[in-house]
Structure 1
Amino acid sequence: MNLQQNLQQRLTQKPLLLMTHLVLGYPSLAVNREVIRQMAENGVDCIELQIPFSEPMADGPVILKANQEALAAGIKVRDCIAFAAEMAREFPQVNFLFMTYYNIVFRYGLADFIQRAAEIGMKGFIIPDLPPEEGNEYLQLAKEHGLAAIMFFTPTSTDERMTEIARQGSGFIYCVARKGVTGQHTEMDDSLVEYFGRCRKATDLPLAVGFGIANREDVALLHGRADMAVIGTATIKLVDREGAAAVGPFIRSLAEA
């Protein structure tokens, strides 16, 4: 079963799915392991495992800092892949995706990276700085290995652009809720509702909404407008503030929104 089929099956059981995000190696792989356990045991459907990069252009200050500190502590791509393999084995109920920037993939070797991801049980990739026009080989290799190449809609995307992006993508579409970087709050106003309507018209793929989704109220507003809520910065802040044990109750509260 590919990622799209898996998500569509889950959507027959609950109205809104949850995807979370963490930066591998921040604050440590040991903490990552406990955070993932808390997420998996409380019903998270997908988890983005971010391979740290020195210039994460789509990420706000919290995730930028996490990337920098993980790199400073010595995390390597091979460590991230080994850890991801362990998590995919331990929590088969979760769809794990690699999130990173294309320089990491290019340096590793595109074909080798995709093959290795398939071997360890990953379900797809989120690479925000690789536009589909420059990603033909990536898209083809991902398809050949049965992995999802996640594409992005943004509020500035035209209807025509959305249709073309959706045609290239697979798994689900990541709908960026607003211009800018991750971590800033997103207000649910008429323009955002209209944008979600355009997203829905452009594709039959499930719609995941991220950038500024931080609490139970934000998640509740997505019911009927999206298929999956993406929680990133809020979880990292929570772990920094209260530790990994706080993640389970937080995720449970979002699932009940």
Structure 2
Amino acid sequence: MQTDSLETYIRERLQQRKVLLMTHAVVGYPSLEANWQMLEIMQEAGVDLVELQMPFSEPIADGPLFVKANEEALRNGIRWQDYFGLLRRASDTFDFPVLMMGYVNTAFRMGYAAFCERLRDSGGSGFIIPDLPVEEFGELWKPSEKHHLSPIMLCTPTSTDKRLQEICEHANGFVYCVARKGVTGKTTELDVGVTEFLQRCRKLTSVPLGLGFGLSQPEHLKTLHGHVEVAIVGSALLRSWEAGGAEQYRTHLMLLAEARG
């Protein structure tokens, strides 16, 4: 599905559960066919949002597992056309909004206006570009607004109050709060530091908060009840796929979905 207002969609879904679940897939890894099977399981589990990652040769915000996934997707010959084709098909078929996740080089090479137009035409509802800081968005603002796309801002516990305020002022859809500094994939302990970080963010914005980078267990989602609106799980689910294929992936995802409350 495609939505003109990601925040409105999130607010409406929160009437049914205590926290939403956003999942992740790298397009082309292990194959487009496997991606589709993952998406079907996400639909079966009632996942709330999905980010589809466009593979890139230097995924600097990703840990070893996703780096490998990006490299193998590129070796599989995944092109922009394949990516947007899968996004279009997913948006037409499933009940969750799909966000593009990728790196700024991709949008820059396409041209920001063309990138936003292509993303919207392919059924995307927004984008996450982790290597593009808010002060460098520049020419991306207008086309994203024109095409009703939500540019998702990222912030970290090391962000200064001034920087957090700037990020939150530009926030659209939700703010992606990084649970720890560094790359994705390591286990995150939801400790006092994370709680304090979320409180800092909450004071600066009224838009929903999402928490990611390292969430893996149902207990993590339960701990987030009342603290954030969106729990983001990526690496842990891909590890389940690699360990036991679709069956283990489904089991893990169903447990996460149940933990939303």
Band of TM-score, shorter chain? over 0.9
Aligned to 2:145: 143
| Residue type of the alignment partner of 2:108 | F
Query: Which of 9, 12, 26 lines up with 2:12 in the alignment?
Result: 9
TM-score calculated relative to the size of structure 1: 0.97
8 Å Cα contact 2:128/2:152 also seen in 1: yes
| Runs of 4+ deviating beyond 3 Å | none
Query: Which of 228, 243, 246 lines up with 2:248 in the alignment?
Result: 246
Aligned to 1:211: 213
Aligned to 2:108: 106
User: Whole-Å Cα distance in 2 between the matches of residues 67 and 183 of structure 1?
Assistant: 14
Aligned to 1:18: 21
Aligned to 1:65: 68
The one-character-per-residue Cα deviations of 1:40-86 (angstroms, maximum 9, x if unpaired) are 12111111100000000000000000000110111111110111101
| Residue type of the alignment partner of 1:21 | H
Aligned to 1:55: 58
Unmatched 5+ stretches in structure 2: none
CA RMSD of aligned residues (A): 1.0
8 Å Cα contact 1:39/1:247 also seen in 2: no
Query: Which is further off, 103-112 or 78-87?
Result: 103-112
Aligned to 1:185: 187
What secondary structure does 1:243 align onto?
helix
Aligned to 1:44: 47
8 Å Cα contact 1:35/1:245 also seen in 2: no
Aligned to 2:82: 79
The one-character-per-residue Cα deviations of 1:65-119 (angstroms, maximum 9, x if unpaired) are 000011011111111011110111111x101000000101111222111101111
TM-score calculated relative to the size of structure 2: 0.95
| Identical positions, percent | 46
8 Å Cα contact 2:168/2:201 also seen in 1: no
8 Å Cα contact 2:99/2:126 also seen in 1: yes
The one-character-per-residue Cα deviations of 1:173-193 (angstroms, maximum 9, x if unpaired) are 000000110001111221111
User: Whole-Å Cα distance in 2 between the matches of residues 90 and 173 of structure 1?
Assistant: 26
Matches within 5 A, 1:229-244: 229-244=231-246
Query: Which is further off, 110-119 or 51-60?
Result: 110-119
Unmatched 5+ stretches in structure 1: none
Deviation at 1:256?
Answer: 1.7
